[in-house]
């Protein structure tokens, strides 16, 4: 019984601290980019999209980008050696609109990861003074590129990344994804710190939407500088913030761009096994801390039941109260992240799945197996092929 009481008290503290951390982050509202009023000239913009086996969603992405009301832009789609109908879809769209240029990507060279290689090839043919890197699973509102570009120029920024809105449709997405987002938020802290020069170690981009001046891109070596990085968005942000004189920002957004990352539990599992393994590469302390925290949170509902069953009713009810408060904080965070209501109810099942994904991801990397994504294997002795 003594061990059970100690566990209950410890987990009560952990859940209370978790709730306080979430609430403290919610106090930092940050800036939310919304569509700007039309008007004014802008420098030429090249929108670059890497596409590998994206037949399910590439057409909706390209059509939305071609519908932008930016005054001077082009769209460059890089077919990264797709093995499905992606190339045919792109060629059909390009035949109808001269603003779309399709680049047939070359084979992946040694020392490169797929996405940086595709983006680097797109930049080689881009004519714009500014570059917008986005993903094939995004859908952009007509004012999005213009609004982001105007905000970057008005703010004197060299690079601007946006947090896109997420479409969570299926039950697996609704249950698991909000907990994963919340876990990432806890690890990154307030997003406005990204733009704070006084915090040089806080650098983060969302690879679904990165707007950068060509001059800043060239100054840090472009994607060649992050060619080995699956988390190329994170490393690009670090390179830019670490380069003297360059200003960056990460903002939330509303009615700018949407994304549906994964559409099944299997896709969620595979996608985040890859993301977690390679996102924490070289940072084992972060991975261990995340496993300990998520493990404590995932065990908490079971310990409540054990306490109630074994005669520790009052302490167990105290832990249950902490769980309710934490779930309420998660619901508030879900509203801020603009994901479906009721996500807080699924906090603990979602955390349990997040923990399982993280543990499996770390095992894949540490065992030397590496992780596979889109037919390519990374990590676990990665050699760049």
Q: Give the Cβ contact number of residue 2 at 10 Å.
A: 6
Q: Where are the alpha helices (DSSP H) in 220-375?
A: 232-242, 265-279, 284-309, 313-336, 347-366
Fill in the DSSP letter of residue 36. P
Pairing type for strands 73-79 and 100-104 reads parallel
The pLDDT value given to residue 76: 98
Alpha-carbon gap, residue 336 to 185, rounded angstroms: 12
What is the sign of the dihedral through the CA atoms of 107, 111, 116 and 122? Answer: negative
Cβ atoms of 184 and 218 within 8 Å: the answer is no
Q: If you count DSSP H runs as helices and E runs as strands, how many of each does the chain have, helices first?
A: 12, 13
Alpha-carbon gap, residue 129 to 328, rounded angstroms: 45
Cβ atoms of 240 and 246 within 8 Å: the answer is yes
Query: In this structure, what token pair is assigned to residue 24?
Result: 């403290």
State the architecture of 32-164+206-261 in CATH terms.
Answer: Alpha-Beta Complex (3.90)
Alpha-carbon gap, residue 114 to 95, rounded angstroms: 26
Stretches where the chain sits below pLDDT 70 are 1, 277-283, 373-375, 378-385
Cβ atoms of 159 and 213 within 8 Å: the answer is yes
164 Cβ neighbours under 8 A, 6+ residues apart: 138, 206, 208, 209, 253, 256, 257, 258, 259
Q: Which of 269, 233, 250 is nearest to 115 (CA)?
A: 233
The pLDDT value given to residue 143: 97
Query: In this structure, what token pair is assigned to residue 343?
Result: 């996500």
Fill in the DSSP letter of residue 121. H
pLDDT digits (tens, 9 = 90+) for 227-275: 988 789 989 999 999 998 899 999 999 999 999 999 899 999 988 887 7
211 Cβ neighbours under 8 A, 6+ residues apart: 130, 131, 132, 133, 145, 148, 149, 152, 159, 160, 161, 162
What is the sign of the dihedral through the CA atoms of 346, 349, 354 and 355? Answer: positive
What separation in angstroms does the CA of 156 have from each of 215, 222, 247?
A: 13, 20, 7
Looking at the DSSP bridge assignments, the partners of residue 46 are 74, 131
Alpha-carbon gap, residue 209 to 272, rounded angstroms: 19
Query: In this structure, what token pair is assigned to residue 108?
Result: 């992946």
Q: How many residues does the chain have?
A: 385
Instruction: Using alpha carbons only, give the angle 60, 66, 72 rounded to the nearest 5 degrees.
Output: 155
Q: Report which secondary-structure segment, H or E, holds 250.
A: strand 248-253
The alpha carbon of 100 is separated from its chain's Cα centroid by a whole number of angstroms, namely 26
Query: What order of strands is seen across the sheet that includes strand 248-253?
Result: 32-33, 248-253, 159-163, 209-213, 130-134, 45-51, 73-79, 100-104
Domain chopping of the chain, boundaries: 2-28+266-370, 32-164+206-261
Fill in the DSSP letter of residue 72. S
Cβ atoms of 348 and 297 within 8 Å: the answer is yes
Cβ atoms of 237 and 205 within 8 Å: the answer is yes
Fill in the DSSP letter of residue 90. H
The pLDDT value given to residue 281: 61
Alpha-carbon gap, residue 262 to 117, rounded angstroms: 23
pTM surpassing 0.85? yes
């Amino acid at each position: 019984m003594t061990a059970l009481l100690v566990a209950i008290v410890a987990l009560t503290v952990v859940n209370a601290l978790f709730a306080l951390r979430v609430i403290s982050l919610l106090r930092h509202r940050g800036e939310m980019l919304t569509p700007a009023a039309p008007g004014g000239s802008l420098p030429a913009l090249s929108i670059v999209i890497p596409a590998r086996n994206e037949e399910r969603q590439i057409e909706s992405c390209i059509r939305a980008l071609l519908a932008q009301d930016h005054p001077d832009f082009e769209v460059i789609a890089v077919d990264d050696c797709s093995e499905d109908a992606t190339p045919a879809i792109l060629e059909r769209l390009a035949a109808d609109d001269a603003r779309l240029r399709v680049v047939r990507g070359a084979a992946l060279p040694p020392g490169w990861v797929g996405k940086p290689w595709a983006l680097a090839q797109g930049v080689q043919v881009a004519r714009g003074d500014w570059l917008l890197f986005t993903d094939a699973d995004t859908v952009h509102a007509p004012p999005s590129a213009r609004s982001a570009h105007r905000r970057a120029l008005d703010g004197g920024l060299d690079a601007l990344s946006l947090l896109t809105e997420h479409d969570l449709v299926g039950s697996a997405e609704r249950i698991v994804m909000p907990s994963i987002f919340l876990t990432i938020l806890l690890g990154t802290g307030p997003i406005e710190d990204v733009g704070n020069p006084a915090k040089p170690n806080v650098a983060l981009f969302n690879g679904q939407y990165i707007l950068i001046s060509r001059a800043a891109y060239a100054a840090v070596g472009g994607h060649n500088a992050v060619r080995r990085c699956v988390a190329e968005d994170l490393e690009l942000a670090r390179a830019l913030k670490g380069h003297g004189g360059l200003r960056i920002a990460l903002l939330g957004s509303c009615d700018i761009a949407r994304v549906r990352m994964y559409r099944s539990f299997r896709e969620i599992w595979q996608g985040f096994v890859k993301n977690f393994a390679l996102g924490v590469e070289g940072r084992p302390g972060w991975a261990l801390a995340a496993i300990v925290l998520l493990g404590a949170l995932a065990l908490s509902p079971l310990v409540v039941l054990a306490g109630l069953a074994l005669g520790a009713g009052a302490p167990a009810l105290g832990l249950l109260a902490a769980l309710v408060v934490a779930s309420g904080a998660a619901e508030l965070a879900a509203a801020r992240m603009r994901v479906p209501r009721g996500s807080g109810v699924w906090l603990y099942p979602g955390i349990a799945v997040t923990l399982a994904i993280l543990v499996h991801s770390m095992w894949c990397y540490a065992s030397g197996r590496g992780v596979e994504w889109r037919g390519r294997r990374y990590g676990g002795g990665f050699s760049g092929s």
